[in-house]
Amino acid sequence: MKKTLIRCGWIVSVDDEIGNRAGEDILIEGEKIVAIGKDLGPADQVIDASEMIAIPGLVDAHLHTWETGLKAIGCDWRGREYLRDVFAGMSTYFEPEDNYIATLAGSLSRLDAGVTTLLDYCHNVRSTEQAERSVDALEDSGIRAVFCLGTGVYREDQKPTDSELQRIHPRDRAMAIRNRLSNEERLVTMSLAIPGPHWAEEPSIRANLKLAKELGLRTSSHATMRKNQELMPDGYTALTNEGLLGPEHNIVHGNYLPDDELKLMVDAGITVTSTVQTEIRGYGRPPAVSRVVNFGGLPSLGVDVEPKIPGDMFREMQLALAYALNERVREDIVKPESPVDNKPIYAIDALKWATMGGAEALGLGHRIGSLTPGKQADIVLLRATDLNLFPVRNPLFSVVEFAHSGNVDTVMVAGQMRKSGGSLLYGRDKVRSVRTRLFESSERIIRESGFSVTT
């Protein structure tokens, strides 16, 4: 089995026992990290990263990857334009090949930016072929991913069935994708995107949860509504108390959940993913990150919707940290709204949100999320000589507060190089073809939907 030795300038491991190291090496054998330290013996390949910072691959815990071709069309949106124009509008003009090329381009852009693991929350599926082509794209890109199978929105002329209108997963479609992704050791695995109590009636929710249990799948749902808008009133509380929602479930957003309900869910092991860039622009309540920390949970982060915000997980992490720290600065305002004291938050916490937090939310914490011997070799190397990082005094601070995706030199997924020397190894001609196909696909969709792009 091939051995690779990375000679690092600095290591930020996100492992509490290993901590941060300077001038040490990472030894990889096959897909796994086997040792971190000095004098680790011979290797088949030696990578000189003596002027680089090694970190675990970032985890984008919530992305609608099918929207990649619609990037930056609605940065000024503040209301329900996204739901109207993208989710319920342009999505209905996607064919299977449109899902494929957008998901491929989005996955490659994640790898290019230091993200080694992605939860692809694909809620634009109206056929098994559309789902299959989305999975094809994830596999072709070489990223580690959880394909979170969702349902879709229909135009009147697309003639959905009654169950599809209720957003109940067709059993044959879910089983087909589950059979394909049954091996939990492969790079691409599966979970089920379900419309939760904020987005569906109780019978639909229970039907989807029953299907997920039968297929052995984790689930994820959007929690975005105020209490008076919930389609299943107090549904999260009821389902959690029944034991139907627990560590196998993940919610996204949760801004409007009252403290007692959110605490109940965190105590039950439900994970919470915040998409801070999106939420501070379009939600009337703060991101849940701070409250999840206060309640003893580990937050996770995701980019969410590239039609509105940039897909840089470094930026997402930095904004999440800044907002949480600001809440503590304003503790005299925030504290009366919280049943517990604000816990201190540090730079290492933010990096954990973007790595281990995402890994745990995806059910992969035992495999990825930290540079730990025995875990998969999902590693990112940042150029410490780049002027925005140089000189490095504290590698953790440099990574969390100063780095951006442009500093990513090398990306490794399960011991395989996906980016080296600042360039994706997918191939220049292939990347050029992806760009061309993505542009043609998105142009057609925008035109057919009647959407007007403002300049």
Q: Following DSSP, what letter does each residue of 308-342 receive, concatenated? A: TS---HHHHHHHHHHHHHHHHHTHHHHGGG-SSPP
CA distances to 64, 75, 159 from 450, in Å? 21, 19, 21
Place of tokens 């059910």: 363
Count how many Cα atoms sit within 13 Å of the Cα of residue 42 in the half-sphere of its side chain. 2
Tell me how far apart the alpha carbons of residues 415 and 6 are, in angstroms, rounded to a whole number: 11
What is residue 2's DSSP assignment?
Answer: -
Domain spans of the chain?
3-55+379-413, 58-361
Tell me how far apart the alpha carbons of residues 339 and 341 are, in angstroms, rounded to a whole number: 7
Tell me how far apart the alpha carbons of residues 309 and 315 are, in angstroms, rounded to a whole number: 10
What is residue 446's DSSP assignment?
Answer: H
Contact criterion met (CB below 8 Å) for 361 and 271? yes
Q: Which helix (H) or strand (E) holds 250?
A: strand 249-253
Question: Could you tell me how far CA 36 lies from the centroid of its own chain?
Answer: 27
Instruction: Quote the pLDDT of residue 340.
Output: 63
Tell me how far apart the alpha carbons of residues 171 and 430 are, in angstroms, rounded to a whole number: 36
Smallest CA-to-CA distance from 36 within 356, 389, 352, 379 is with 379
Contact criterion met (CB below 8 Å) for 47 and 7? yes
Tell me how far apart the alpha carbons of residues 335 and 325 are, in angstroms, rounded to a whole number: 13
Tell me how far apart the alpha carbons of residues 415 and 399 are, in angstroms, rounded to a whole number: 22
Instruction: Please work out, in degrees rounded to the nearest 5, the angle formed at the alpha carbon of residue 310 by the alpha carbons of 305 and 311.
Output: 75
Tell me how far apart the alpha carbons of residues 115 and 355 are, in angstroms, rounded to a whole number: 9
Contact criterion met (CB below 8 Å) for 144 and 187? yes
Instruction: Quote the pLDDT of residue 335.
Output: 58
Instruction: Quote the pLDDT of residue 329.
Output: 85
For residue 168, give both structure tokens: 């109940």
Q: What is the dihedral of CA 143, 152, 306, 303, to 10 degrees?
A: -60
Contact criterion met (CB below 8 Å) for 379 and 54? yes
pLDDT in tens, the chain (455 residues): 999 999 999 999 999 999 999 999 999 999 999 999 999 999 999 999 999 999 999 999 999 999 999 999 999 998 899 999 999 999 999 999 999 999 999 999 999 999 999 999 999 999 999 999 999 999 999 999 999 999 999 998 998 888 888 999 999 999 999 999 999 999 999 999 999 999 999 999 999 999 999 999 999 999 999 999 999 999 999 999 999 999 999 999 999 999 999 999 999 999 999 999 999 999 989 999 999 999 999 999 999 999 999 999 999 999 999 999 998 888 656 555 555 678 999 999 999 999 999 999 999 999 999 999 999 999 999 999 999 999 999 999 999 999 999 999 999 999 999 999 999 999 999 999 999 999 999 999 999 999 988 76
Contact criterion met (CB below 8 Å) for 50 and 24? no
Contact criterion met (CB below 8 Å) for 262 and 223? no
Residue 15, number of CB atoms within 10 A of its CB: 18
Give me the DSSP letters along 413-438: ETTEEEEETTEETT-HHHHHHHHHHH
Smallest CA-to-CA distance from 322 within 295, 349, 361, 284 is with 349
* 58-63, strands of its sheet edge to edge: 58-63, 115-122, 144-149, 188-193, 219-223, 249-253, 271-274, 300-301
For domain 3-55+379-413, give the CATH superfamily: Urease, subunit C, domain 1 (2.30.40.10)
Count how many Cα atoms sit within 13 Å of the Cα of residue 184 in the half-sphere of its side chain. 10
Tell me how far apart the alpha carbons of residues 433 and 421 are, in angstroms, rounded to a whole number: 21
Single-letter amino acid code for the residue at 353: W
For domain 58-361, give the CATH superfamily: Metal-dependent hydrolases (3.20.20.140)
Cis upstream peptide for 391 (omega within 30°): yes
Tell me how far apart the alpha carbons of residues 432 and 399 are, in angstroms, rounded to a whole number: 30
Q: Can you give the pTM of this predicted structure?
A: 0.97
Tell me how far apart the alpha carbons of residues 124 and 236 are, in angstroms, rounded to a whole number: 24
For residue 146, give both structure tokens: 């959880």
Which distant-in-sequence residues (6+ apart) come within 8 Å of 396 by Cβ?
Answer: 12, 20, 347, 348, 351
For residue 21, give both structure tokens: 């190291």
